[in-house]
Amino acid sequence: MQFAFKKRGRDSLLIDREEIIVWRRDYLRKIRKYREQGRTIYYLDETWINAGHTKNIIWVDESIKSCRQARREGLSTGLKNPSGKGRRLIICHIGGQNGFVENGLWFFESNKSGDYHEEMNGESFEKWFSTILPTLEDNAVIVMDNASYHSRKIDSVPSSSTRKEDIKNWLNSRNISFDHNLLKAELLVLVKENKEKYNKCRIDEMARETGRTVLRLPPYHCELNPIELIWAQIKGKVAAQNSSFKISEVRKLFLEAIRTIGPDEWQKCIKHVIEEIEEKMWQLNNIMESTIERVVINLSETDTEDGGETNSE
C-alpha cells in the first residue's frame, strides 16, 4: 500500500502530536457514524479572492522574439501581470451533496491587506449562521474548522491570567464549592475539572437548539473539507477569465463561477475526500501504530538479549 499526500500546512501526518491524532480519529469515527445514520452533512468554510487573482502559467509562442514582431504580425503581447494582489473579496458559503445551500452565500469586499480572518468576527458570523440554520435539513451535521469567529464561548472560563478573586467569583456563581484558603493554582484545578460544563461555543449551541450538530475538523486538516476542492474550482475559473484585475470584474467572475458548481461537482469532491483522504488517513494511523509497536518490541528484545549477554559475562 502506498501513500503520497504531502500538500499540507504542516510537514506530515508522521509528526502529528498525540492530541491531533486523537482528534482526527474522533472526527473520522463521528462522520462515519453520521453517514451510517443517514444524516445530511453540510460543509462550511471561508475563502478569499484578490483582484489580481490570475494564472501563474500561460501558453507562450516561442517563435515570437519581441513585442515589435508581435505587433507587426497582429498578435497580442500577452496579459500584463497585476502590480499587486489588490483588493479582495471575503467569501463564506455552505453546501453538501445537493450543492450550495440556497441563499447561503455571504461575501463582502475587504478593507484590509492582512489576514482575512481579521475581518471576520464572531458576532457577524453568528448572525449569518442564524439565518442559515433554518434552511438546513433537520438533524443535519455541519462540518467546520476551529477559526476564532466560529468558536466564541458562551461563558468565559478563567485561566492562569485571571485574578484569584475573579476565579473565586466564577466558582461561586456556578455553585462549585471550594475551600477559600486554596491557592490560585488549586482553584484553577477546580476550574479545569468543571470547565467542560461551561466551555461551550455559541455556534455549537445554536445548532444544538435547532436539532442540528456542529462537527469540528481537526486542526490543520482543511483537506478533510470537500468545500476546499470547490473553492479551488471556482478560483481556477476566476483566474482563467480575469483580465482587468479590478475587484468589480472579479466579483462578477466569482458570481458566474459559483453558479457553475452544482450537485455533480459537490458529489465528486465529497466522494474524493471520503475515498482518497479519510480512508488513507485512517489506514495510515493504523499502519504507523503497528509499525512503531513492532519496532519498540524488537528494541526491547534486543536490549534483553544484550543485557543477558552482559550478565553472563
CA distance 110 to 45: 17
Does residue 23 belong to any structural domain of this protein? yes
pLDDT higher than 50, residue 312: no
Return mean pLDDT, the chain.
83
CA distance 183 to 251: 57
CA distance 142 to 212: 8
Does residue 251 belong to any structural domain of this protein? yes
Does residue 91 belong to any structural domain of this protein? yes
Grade residue 156 by pLDDT with cuts at 50, 70 and 90. Answer: confident
Does residue 160 belong to any structural domain of this protein? no
pLDDT higher than 70, residue 251: yes
Asked if residues 104 and 95 have their Cβ atoms less than 8 Å apart, the reply is: yes
The CATH number for 98's domain is: 3.30.420.10
What is the average per-residue pLDDT within 83-101?
A: 88
**CA dihedral sign, ordered 190, 192, 195, 196:** negative
Does residue 208 belong to any structural domain of this protein? no
What residue spans of the chain are helical by DSSP H?
Answer: 18-36, 67-72, 122-132, 164-173, 184-194, 202-209, 227-241, 247-259, 263-272, 279-312
CA terminus-to-terminus distance, the chain: 45
Structural domain boundaries, residue 99: 13-52+84-119+218-303
pLDDT higher than 60, residue 74: no
pLDDT higher than 60, residue 59: no
What is the average per-residue pLDDT within 280-296?
A: 67
Question: What pLDDT does 150 receive?
Answer: 96
- As for how many domains the chain has, the answer is 1
pLDDT higher than 70, residue 292: no
Q: What is the biggest distance separating any 2 CA atoms in the chain, rounded to whole angstroms?
A: 92
CA distance 93 to 46: 7
Question: What pLDDT does 83 receive?
Answer: 47
Asked if residues 217 and 224 have their Cβ atoms less than 8 Å apart, the reply is: yes
Instruction: List, for residues 193-219, the tens digit of each pLDDT value.
Output: 988 888 889 999 999 999 999 999 999
CA distance 235 to 4: 25
Question: What pLDDT does 255 receive?
Answer: 97
Does residue 176 belong to any structural domain of this protein? no
Does residue 67 belong to any structural domain of this protein? no
More confident residue, 212 or 308: 212
Does residue 29 belong to any structural domain of this protein? yes
Question: What pLDDT does 169 receive?
Answer: 94
Asked if residues 41 and 34 have their Cβ atoms less than 8 Å apart, the reply is: yes
What is the average per-residue pLDDT within 244-256?
A: 94
Q: Are strands 41-50 and 141-144 parallel, antiparallel or unpaired?
A: parallel
What is the average per-residue pLDDT within 66-88?
A: 57
CA angle, 135 then 116 then 86, to 5°: 115
Q: Which of 121-125, 158-162, 287-291 is least confident?
A: 287-291
Alpha carbon of 230 to those of 45, 96, 132, 255, 267: distances in Å?
A: 10, 11, 19, 14, 10
